[in-house]
Structure 1
Amino acid sequence: MTTSTVLITGTSSGIGLESAVAAARAGWRAVATMRDTGKADALRAAVRAAGVADLVEIRRLDVTDPDSVARCVAAVVAEHGSLEAVINNAGAGHVGTLEADGVETARRVMEVNFFGVLNVTAATLPHLRAAGGRLIAVTSVGGVIGQPFNEAYCAAKFAVEGYLESLTPVAATVGVSVTLVEPAAVASEFVANVGVPDDRTELLERMGPYTPALESYLARTAGAFANAQSAADAAAAVVAVLDAERPAPRVQTSDAARAFVAAKLADPDGTRVAAVTGAWVA
């Protein structure tokens, strides 16, 4: 018996960290990657506590740097001989709006959340094709429904969804399955990294005429994340795709995520969704 290998991006915390642990528990060799391996202590502690340290490797990979991606993937395949699965999880949130932030901010958000996925996917597809493997991307319900003050982030996630949904039937012709995994609110360090500091004075001042709407949005969001799904539960849905006999092209990680996505699919003219998200900033 040989151990199948899965490469996971963005594993220093949250869903990525928990996915590495869960994949190893399921018997996979998890190549856990992150831009800064100096932030790997939490993952090391988690895999030791789970008793799976022998199945988890920590490697440096910056999804925004094609050379970094290529070096990491080449080293993994050279060492293990094959690559059976990839979980594109690395990403970064952003709270703001176009008039206050400008186009360059949106470009930077796209670079991490969209082009980062493409960099990893392009480098790994030949190996997934050789193995008849699986390509997974952790997107968001924000890749289905645009959300106030998440314009750049949702645009990037929409782009990932559109790109990989289009790739799905093409990849299937060469034996590679593609699955989009859509969490709703998840309790993780991701929330702390979306650009909303504890002291929100500067952020609110920067929003100018949009400040009242942002205050309403932040108040609503605090309530949503108070009832957020755990990162471990979301990761369980991600890792289940690895072992599913026929993984679905799209998977939500919770009942809340399924209900939110379903609202969009049942709303062809967009008025219901607009009413919901409009209430967040009223």
Structure 2
Amino acid sequence: MIRNYLEPDTMSDKTVLITGTSSGIGLATAVAAARGGWHVIATMRNTAKAGPLLAAAEAAGVTVDLRALDVTDQASVEACLAGVERLDALVNNAGAGHVGTLEQESVADVRAVMEVNFFGVLHVTKAALPLLRASGGRVLTVTSVGGVVGQPFNEAYCAAKFAVEGFMESLAPVAATVGVSVSVVEPGAVASEFVTNVGLTDDAAEQAGPYAPALAAYLERTRDAFASAQAAEDVAARILDLLAAERPAFRVLTSDAARGFAGIKLRDLDGSAVRDLTAGWVG
């Protein structure tokens, strides 16, 4: 169920740009934000895939401002933001999964994962920051528990998410000095097309050579994890909470499963201790 978070008359002048809204978390967040009274700039690389988003928006009785945006293309980022006079929030959601291991893929494969999941976030955030400074806005970036705990056969993906987490944790105290808050949202398994889009076939393990037994075990574990995955709408609800929060936490884990998993590594679950420490480094 999608919740209304703020009355439309208090939010009608607020604008949020959301990347990767063709499906999953991005789609659910775009519709939830529009229902919450936000003016939503909903972006995706290929607007020909906008059917599910537009249908969901129509069913919810809301509208979105649909725009093309390839986060890996600087010209596309600039074109998308052209004419945007006010921006109160950015939700970096666009990303791509990847399963593989170093010996069996090229460095170019790894670099491509970094381009989408790390540099894509930087492209959009950099372009949005002047607008966010002007509005005293906020940056929310959807990462993953894979940005906290490295996972087998997710080497490139986790590397990109670790990079995003480190970058945003470092940016947060600096951005705060100019009135911009920075948060990361860490889901665990989410029921969406994300895993499907990785493109693994049933015989993937058979083609993994010496890594076949390990990959087979990993795939079995992954199927079990996604059998009880969190709904994309639940993640969207947490994102809307962050958009509405007076002082949003730096880190938000979106489910008990995510908290339990990340908690193996993290004691400071909301990131406040690190944020408060590093804020002191810049005044």
Could you state the TM-score of these two structures normalised by the residue count of structure 2? Answer: 0.89
Counting only pairs closer than 5 Å after superposition, residues 27-38 of structure 1 correspond to structure 2 as 27-38=37-48
C-alpha RMSD over aligned residues: 1.2
**Do structure 1's residue 6 and structure 2's residue 16 form an aligned pair?**
yes
Counting only pairs closer than 5 Å after superposition, residues 126-275 of structure 1 correspond to structure 2 as 126-197=130-201, 200-201=202-203, 203-265=204-266
Describe the superposition over 1:102-138 as per-residue Cα deviations: whole angstroms up to 9, x where unpaired: 2111100000000000000010001000110010000
CA deviation after TM superposition for structure 1 residue 3, in Å: 1.7
The equivalent residue for 1:113 is 117
The equivalent residue for 2:27 is 17
Report the secondary structure of 2:265's partner residue: helix
- Contact 1:134–1:176 under 8 Å retained in 2: yes
| Aligned equivalents of 1:195, 1:149: Cα separation in 2 | 14
Structure 2 unaligned blocks of 5 or more: 1-8, 268-283
Report the secondary structure of 1:196's partner residue: coil
CA deviation after TM superposition for structure 1 residue 186, in Å: 0.2
Which amino acid in 2 is paired with 1:152?
A
The equivalent residue for 1:278 is none
Percent identical: 67
CA deviation after TM superposition for structure 1 residue 208, in Å: 1.2
Report the secondary structure of 2:212's partner residue: helix
Which amino acid in 1 is paired with 2:16?
V
Structure with the higher fraction of residues in helix conformation: 1
Which amino acid in 2 is paired with 1:25?
R
CA deviation after TM superposition for structure 1 residue 261, in Å: 1.1
The equivalent residue for 1:272 is none
| Aligned equivalents of 1:243, 1:183: Cα separation in 2 | 19
- Contact 1:93–1:195 under 8 Å retained in 2: no
| Aligned equivalents of 1:162, 1:206: Cα separation in 2 | 34
| Aligned equivalents of 2:240, 2:105: Cα separation in 1 | 36
**How many residues in Structure 1 have an aligned counterpart in Structure 2?**
258
CA deviation after TM superposition for structure 1 residue 205, in Å: 4.1
The equivalent residue for 1:68 is 76
Structure 1 unaligned blocks of 5 or more: 267-282
| Aligned equivalents of 2:82, 2:134: Cα separation in 1 | 14
Counting only pairs closer than 5 Å after superposition, residues 20-99 of structure 1 correspond to structure 2 as 20-53=30-63, 56-75=64-83, 77=84, 81-99=85-103
Report the secondary structure of 1:11's partner residue: coil
CA deviation after TM superposition for structure 1 residue 195, in Å: 2.6
Could you state the TM-score of these two structures normalised by the residue count of structure 1? Answer: 0.89
Runs (4 or more) in structure 1 with deviation over 3 Å come to none
Report the secondary structure of 1:95's partner residue: coil
Which of 126, 139, 155 is the aligned partner of 1:122? Answer: 126
